[in-house]
């Protein structure tokens, strides 16, 4: 099990600050992750509370993407005419310290009905994006029922799921999961969130290979995190391994400026330099798009 060590500057007492960080956003990580995480390593840094989370940093807020203002119904966030986000849970297997939803500004719905009614009444929608929290925290029965209801809406084409579960809890990739994904009426797209190759232990690799073998479209997104993956060599190893596993690069995000995560920030100029290095050493299809998400504007490409 990982130990608690501090990264606070000298002169600050870590204990009360760590306790406050933990109270504000509890540490949570699955057993396999906790077993492997070592103080200061990429797993540890992503999941362990840090006293600096309590620092008030100008420009960093509880709702950095203004999702509360983009909410069109219970758990529904609409940023585009053809796609809509449905937050199906606020639970995750791992509480990532950099998560832009760590303050839980938009709550998941108590009932699917209002969301389904809204989606059914919007013929311009083509894709529903399940997000959270991690949608795969829900049971396969619940997800299959929801997917079935969405599949009965004639104008929908795709069901996208943003998840970290195949990596952090690989045993979640069961036959029941792949069955309803494969047999559902909507085309499934899984966007896998992973930031460092150390997350991809043997079970995680097997889980991703299993999804790929079932023909499910797998895309990768990551966040550029200071002290975790902010160099080209680290990202190249991750992206090469994901390509081998059948997971294609999609987005590399600059950190969303969420209160509590400022210590992960990587300057934009450095991010662009890292992308330039990646382009020189990976095929074009192996390089993600570097983006910054802006409230009201969605993802703004910075490179590629
Ligand atoms: S929503 Fe995703 S990034 Fe946020 S804590 Fe959960 S798993 Fe981590």
| Residue among 132, 168, 191, 222 whose CB has most ligand 1 atoms within 8 A, to mutate | 132
Tell me: pLDDT of 256 over 90. yes
Mean pLDDT of 3-11: 57
Q: What is the token pair recorded at 1? A: 């099990």
Give residue 162 CA to ligand 1 midpoint distance, Å.
9
Question: Which pLDDT band, with edges at 50, 70 and 90, does 8 fall under?
Answer: low
Judge contact between 72 and 117, C-beta under 8 A.
no
Q: What is the pLDDT of residues 91-122, one digit of tens each?
A: 999 999 999 999 999 999 999 999 999 999 99
Ligand 1, residues at Cβ distance < 6 Å: 92, 94-96, 99, 101, 132-134, 164, 193
pLDDT, tens digit, for every residue of 192-222?
Answer: 999 999 999 999 999 999 999 999 999 999 9
Q: How far is ligand 1, taken at its centre, from the CA of residue 134, in Å?
A: 6
Question: What pLDDT shows up at residue 177?
Answer: 97
Residue-wise pLDDT tens digits, 120-135: 999 999 999 999 999 9
At a CB cut-off of 8 Å and minimum separation 6, what does 63 contact?
103, 105
Half-sphere exposure of 263 (CA within 13 A, CB side): 18
Atom of ligand 1 nearest to the CA of 99: 4
Atom of ligand 1 at shortest distance to CA of 92? 6
Domain ranges of the chain: 14-303
For the whole model, what pTM was predicted? 0.94
Architecture of domain 14-303: Alpha-Beta Barrel (3.20)
- C-alpha 10 to ligand 1 mean position (Å): 30
């Amino acid at each position: 099990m990982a130990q608690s060590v501090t990264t606070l500057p000298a002169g600050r007492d870590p204990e009360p600050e760590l306790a406050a960080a933990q109270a504000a956003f509890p540490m949570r990580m699955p057993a396999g992750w906790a077993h492997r995480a070592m103080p200061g390593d990429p797993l540890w840094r992503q999941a362990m509370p840090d006293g600096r989370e309590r620092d008030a940093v100008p420009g960093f807020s509880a709702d950095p993407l203004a999702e509360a203002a983009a909410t069109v119904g219970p758990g529904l966030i609409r940023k585009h005419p053809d796609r809509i986000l449905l937050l199906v849970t606020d639970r995750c297997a791992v509480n990532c310290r950099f998560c832009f939803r760590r303050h839980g500004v938009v709550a998941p719905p108590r009932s699917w009905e209002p969301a389904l009614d809204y989606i059914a009444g919007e013929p311009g929608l083509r894709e529903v994006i399940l997000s959270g929290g991690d949608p795969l925290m829900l049971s396969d029965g619940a997800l299959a029922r929801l997917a079935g209801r969405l599949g009965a809406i004639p104008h929908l084409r795709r069901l996208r799921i943003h998840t970290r579960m195949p990596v952090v809890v690989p045993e979640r990739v069961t036959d029941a999961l792949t069955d309803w994904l494969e047999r559902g009426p909507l085309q499934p797209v899984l966007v896998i969130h992973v930031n460092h190759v150390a997350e991809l232990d043997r079970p995680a690799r097997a889980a991703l290979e299993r999804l790929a073998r079932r023909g499910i479209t797998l895309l990768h997104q990551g966040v550029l995190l200071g002290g975790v993956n902010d160099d080209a060599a680290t990202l190249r190893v991750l992206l090469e391994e994901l390509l081998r596993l059948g997971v294609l690069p999609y987005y590399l995000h600059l950190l969303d400026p969420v209160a509590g995560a400022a210590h992960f920030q990587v300057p934009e100029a450095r991010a662009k330099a890292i992308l330039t290095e990646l382009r020189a050493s990976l095929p074009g299809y192996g390089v993600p798009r570097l983006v910054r998400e802006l409230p009201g504007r969605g993802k703004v490409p910075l490179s590629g």
